[in-house]
Amino acid sequence: MCHPQTEWTATWPGAVHYVGPAHTRYLYSRHLHQWIEQHAAEYDAVVVHGLWRYTSLGVWRGLRRHKVPYYVFAHGMLDPYFRRAFPAKHLQKTACWLAAERRVLRDARAVLFTCEEERLRARRTFWPYQCRERVVGLGIARPEGDLTARKQEFYDSFPQAAGKRLALFLARIHPKKGCDLLIRAFARVASADPLLHLVMAGPDECGWRAELERLAEQLAVRSRILWTGPLYGSVKQGALCAADVLALPSHIENFGISVVEAMACGVPVLISNQVNIWREIESDGAGLAAPPNVDGMTALFERWLDISASARLRMRINAVRSFSRRFELEHFAREFIACLRTA
């Protein structure tokens, strides 16, 4: 649902229908399932993105009397991490699961996952769990334009980064992303290479940056860390091109768009084994993975620092190859369309 007057619709080739306001945190809209039921025959298939909002139940209600198939993209919302991290919220979701979401997944033509790890983890969260599973992947467009110019644009914006070896963190500044353990691990290895600097790029959504800067001060690496805030457009692309490696030690990451963005630019990645695409990346030789703790991240840095220049070059080449093979937008589109055609 989206209001037809929003600016981006001017360039969107499809129609956008506004079916009325939504209420409560559940985003209940009494008109949604009615509109879907009235217009179902106009569509070959319906795709639902996400769970735990009325959108999914509204689609289920609207299509119950129709043969139009619908698909549900889970987007990591069935990961067992949330059961451990937020037990009270998990109880609320369990009630919602029993009352609604289990039926939504059960009756979907397929529940779509971005990778095999996500599919397997989803089975461990709620019961009863019954659905038709399908891994279709996810993808981004290949970077275009003059990447050398964009790299220079990043240096123009942050001249202190020029001439350094950069380990780039590109994500929200949030405890879920493991920012604190990244800084601690970086402090352990910083003396091994005086040119190695850490770039922390991303929005500070929960006001955590000041505490992290104090941590860096205590560990004597504050001068070796560049805080850029959120990056966008060509400057963000330039940061990726300037990086020697991307580091993302998340405690949970369903896919990791920044990981794939780095690989598309030929940048190897150091990630936790809670980033769900870690198996594919390690098997392709495009990066290294370890548990999301200080020792694990330290080991990744040490392994990366110890490999030869030729081995780093191979890892860069492997990153681009892995991106092209698994994560490019056209690859995802083919898999997604093939899934829809099975209907």
Q: What percent of the chain has pLDDT over 90?
A: 91
Domains of the chain: 7-139+331-341 (no CATH), 147-327 (3.40.50.2000)
Q: Which range (5-9, 41-45, 176-180, 217-221) has the least confidence?
A: 5-9
CA distance 26 to 54: 6
CA distance 311 to 318: 10
| Helix, strand, coil percent content, the chain, rounded in steps of 5 | 50, 15, 35
Query: Does the pLDDT at position 12 exceed 70?
Result: no
Query: Does the pLDDT at position 4 exceed 80?
Result: no
**Average pLDDT estimate for 239-258:** 96
Residue owning tokens 């949970």: 252
CA distance 308 to 300: 15
**Average pLDDT estimate for 319-340:** 94
Q: Which amino acid is at 332?
A: F
pLDDT tens profile 161-178 = 999 999 999 999 999 999
**Average pLDDT estimate for 210-221:** 98
pLDDT tens profile 113-157 = 999 999 999 999 999 999 999 999 999 999 988 999 999 999 999
**Average pLDDT estimate for 29-57:** 95
Residue-wise burial string across 136-153, b where 16 or more C-beta atoms lie within 10 A, e elsewhere:
bbbbeeeeeeebeebbeb
Q: Which of 135, 163, 184 is nearest to 335 (CA)?
A: 135
Which helix (DSSP H) or strand (DSSP E) does residue 247 occupy? strand 245-248
Q: What percent of the chain has pLDDT over 70?
A: 96
Query: What is the residue-averaged pLDDT of the chain?
Result: 94
pLDDT tens profile 51-90 = 999 999 999 999 999 999 999 999 999 999 889 888 999 9
**Average pLDDT estimate for 251-274:** 96
Contact yes or no for 337/112 (Cβ under 8 A): no
Query: Does the pLDDT at position 5 exceed 60?
Result: no
Query: Does the pLDDT at position 19 exceed 90?
Result: no
Q: What's the pTM value of the predicted model, to 2 decimals?
A: 0.88
CA distance 282 to 270: 10
Secondary structure, 3-state, 126-161: CCCCCCCEEECCCCECCCCCCHHHHHHHHHHHCHHH
Label residue 35 by pLDDT band (50, 70, 90): very high
Q: Which of 238, 236, 315 is nearest to 281 (CA)?
A: 315
Task: Give the pLDDT confidence score for residue 205 in this predicted structure.
Answer: 87
Query: Does the pLDDT at position 247 exceed 80?
Result: yes
Task: Give the pLDDT confidence score for residue 147 in this predicted structure.
Answer: 92
